[in-house]
Structure 1
Amino acid sequence: FRCRFALSDEDGSARQVDPDTGVCCPESVAVCAMASPDPLFSVRNNFYLGAYQTAISDASSLTGLSEDQKLERDTFVYRSYVELGSYEMVLSEIPADAPPPLAAVRQLASYHKAGPSPSSPVPDALEAGLSDGALSSDPTYLYVTALVRFLRGDAAGALRLAGPARTLELLALSVQVMLSLHRPDAAERQLRAMAAIDDDATLTQLAGAWVALAAGGPRVREAASIYQELGDRFAWTPRLHAGLASAQACMGRWEDAEAELLQAVEKNPKDPDSLANLAVVSLHLGKPAGRYLGCAGWTAAWGGERGGCAPV
C-alpha cells in the first residue's frame, strides 16, 4: 500500500490510510485501532470527480452511520442532485428549517433554478445568514455563499470567505478564483495550503491540475498526468476527460484532445465544458463546430459548483 497520514474527522488524531480507499493501512494497525475507516470516502470522492450518479448510488448503500455522518451523506447526495440539474427535487425534499449544510444546498438549488437573475433573493438570503453563528461557522454554508459571490462576479467577496479558510473545498474555490483573476502566484499559495492538509486528496490533485494548466509550458504535462492518474485510479468522468483534453490541446495534440472530448460527450451529451471545448477543437481541426455550438444549453448549462478544467 502507498500510505499517507491524515487527520481523523472525529478527534484530530493521526492515522495512516490508503489514498485509494480511505482505509487504514495494515502497517499502522495500532493507529487504526483508534480511528475507523471513512465510510463517506467514496461518496465524497465521486462527487469531486464529477461522478454524481455514482456518489448517489454509493450513499444509498451506507449503513451504521452516526448522525453527523448521515448529515454529511445527505449533503453530498443533494449537492449531486443539484449538479445533475434536479433543482425541484432538492427544493421539495429539503425543508426550509434544515441544518446549515442542507440549508446551503437548498439555497444553491434555488439560485440555479432561477438562473443568473439579478433579482434572485438567494444572494441576499445567504449574506443575511452569515450573521447567524450556526450558519457562518458551517463550511458548506461558507462554501456555497462564496461560490454564489463568485458566480455573480464578486471575486473579491468570494475570496474574503474562501481565502482564509482551511478546508479543502474552500481552498479549492479560492484557487479557481485566483486563476480567474490571472493570479497564478496566489493560486500556487492556496494550492500549497491544500497540500499541507492532504496532498493526495482528489481535490488537491484537481487543483494542482488547474494551476499547472494555467502555468502552461512544461507544466501542462503535469496536468495531463494528474488527470490520467485520477481517471485510471478511480473512474473516467466527463470532468476528467475534459481536463485531459485541455492539456492535450495545450500541447498541440488536437486529435487526442478531440478523442477525449468525444468520450466525455458520450458519457454526458450535455456537459458544458466538453461541448464548449469540442467546438474549439473542431475549429482547430477544420471540422464543423456548429452542432456543438448549437447544442441547446451548453452556454447556459454552467451552474455546476466548480469548473472541472480550464477551457481550451
Structure 2
Amino acid sequence: MDSDSLFYLQNQFYLGNYKYLCDNPLPPKSDPSYLATVCYTARSHIALKNYSAALSLLGSDTSPPSRALTSLAKYLSATGDDKDTYLEELRDLCIEVEDGFEGDSEDGAGAGVVKVVAATAFSAEGEVEEALTTLGAGCKSRDIECVALIVHIYLSIARPDLAKKEYEAAKKWADDSLLIQMVEAAIGLAVGSRTLQTAQYIYAEQVSAPGSSTNPAILTAKGISHILLGAYSDADNALNEALTIDPKYAEALAAKVTLAELKGKKGEVDEAISRLQSSHPDYILLKDLTEKESAFDAAASQFTLSSEA
C-alpha cells in the first residue's frame, strides 16, 4: 500500500466512515503500512462496538499501539472489576511510550495513538482529568489526534472556551489538515452563532469528497448543522440519506428525534424515538428522556389538583 492509500484510509477514519475501513482488505504483512492499517481497522471495529473482531484482528501483536487497542477493546467489553485491570494496562503503556517509543497519531501506529486510546478509556470511565493530562491538554500538544480528543472532551463538559484555545494553538501548525477542519466544525456546532455557517460549509464540502456518499456519519453531521441553522428541510434530506445507507445509524435517528420535535410533529417524534429504542435502547438521548420523565413525575407528585371551584 502506498502512502496515498494510507492517507485516504486515515481520512476515512477521521470522517467516521468505519464500515469502509472494516471492509477494506489489509495489505501484506511485509508492507510498511501494515501495522498502521491494522490499527485504523481495529479502531473502526471498536467504534462500531465489534470488540471481538478488533481483538481477532490485533491478535498477539506486541507493539504498544496494538496492545493499547487490545486493552481498550477488552475494557469496553468488560464488566465490574475487570475494567480496572485494563485501565492499569493502559496507564502502564502510557509510561512505556514516554520512554522512547516514537511517532505521533498521524503515523497511524505511533505513541500518539497509545495516548488517544488510553484517554478514550479514561474518559469513558469518568476520569476526565486523567484523560486530559494523558493527552497533554494545556501543554500545546503537537499531536493532531490528541488535540481533537482534548477538544471533544472539553465540549462534552461544556467548556467551549478551553476547546477553542486548544484549536487556535493547533491551527498554527496543523496546516489545515482534515482533522483540524473537523475540530473547527465541532466547535462551530457547539458554540453556534457565526461559526455555524463555517461548520455547515465544512460538512457540505466533505459530503462531496470521494468515499463520503456512503458515509452516514458525515451526512448526519451535515444534517445537524442544518438543524442548528433552522434549515429543517435540508436537515431532513441529509438525515434521510444517512438512514438510507444505514437504517440503524444511532446519531441520525437521534437527530431525527430532535428535528421532529422542533418541527412540532408529535407523530414523527414518537416514530423516531421508537426506531432509536428498537436499535439502541441504551442510547444517551433515551436515558436522558427517561431521567427527565422521572424527574417530572416526582415533581408532579408533590402537587394535588384542588377540587374546589
Partner of 1:87: 51
Matched, 1:154 2:127: yes
Partner of 1:188: 164
CA distance in 1, matches of 2:125, 2:149: 14
Task: Measure how far apart 1:270 and its partner are.
Answer: 2.5
Q: How many residues align?
A: 264
CA distance in 2, matches of 1:57, 1:254: 33
Q: Retained in 1: the 8 A contact 2:185–2:202?
A: yes
The counterpart of 1:257, out of the listed 224, 227, 235, is 235
After the TM superposition, which of the residue ranges 133-142 and 256-265 deviates more from structure 2? 133-142
Could you state the TM-score of these two structures normalised by the residue count of structure 1?
A: 0.76
User: Which residue identity does 2:94 align to in structure 1?
Assistant: L
Partner of 2:200: 224
Give ranges in structure 1 of 5+ residues lacking alignment: 1-35, 303-312
Partner of 2:269: 289
Query: Which entry has the higher C-alpha Rg, 1 or 2?
Result: 2
Matched, 1:243 2:226: no
Task: Measure how far apart 1:134 and its partner are.
Answer: 6.7
Partner of 2:12: 46
Partner of 1:143: 116
Do the aligned partners of residues 183 and 107 (structure 1) sit closer, same or farther apart at CA in structure 2, a change above 3 Å counting?
same
Task: Measure how far apart 1:269 and its partner are.
Answer: 2.3
Partner of 1:75, secondary structure, is: helix
Could you state the TM-score of these two structures normalised by the residue count of structure 2?
A: 0.76
Task: Measure how far apart 1:84 and its partner are.
Answer: 2.8
Matched, 1:270 2:234: no
Do the aligned partners of residues 255 and 196 (structure 1) sit closer, same or farther apart at CA in structure 2, a change above 3 Å counting?
same
Q: Retained in 1: the 8 A contact 2:26–2:37?
A: no
Q: Which structure 2 residues correspond to residues 17-166 of structure 1 after superposition, within 5 A?
A: 37-58=3-24, 60=26, 65-66=31-32, 69-96=33-60, 98-114=62-78, 120=83, 121-133=85-97, 137=101, 138-162=111-135, 163=137, 164=139, 165-166=141-142
Give ranges in structure 2 of 5+ residues lacking alignment: 102-110, 285-309
CA RMSD across the alignment? 2.6
Partner of 1:168: 144
Do the aligned partners of residues 195 and 98 (structure 1) sit closer, same or farther apart at CA in structure 2, a change above 3 Å counting?
same
Do the aligned partners of residues 146 and 251 (structure 1) sit closer, same or farther apart at CA in structure 2, a change above 3 Å counting?
same
CA distance in 2, matches of 1:135, 1:255: 53
Task: Measure how far apart 1:196 and its partner are.
Answer: 2.6
- 1:40-86 deviation line (CA, Å, top 9, x unaligned): 111111111122232345553679732xx221111111112222332
Partner of 1:257, secondary structure, is: helix
Paired-residue identity, %: 24
Q: Retained in 1: the 8 A contact 2:26–2:34?
A: no
Do the aligned partners of residues 210 and 136 (structure 1) sit closer, same or farther apart at CA in structure 2, a change above 3 Å counting?
farther
Q: Which has the higher contact order (CA 8 A, sep 6+)?
A: 1
CA distance in 2, matches of 1:87, 1:108: 9
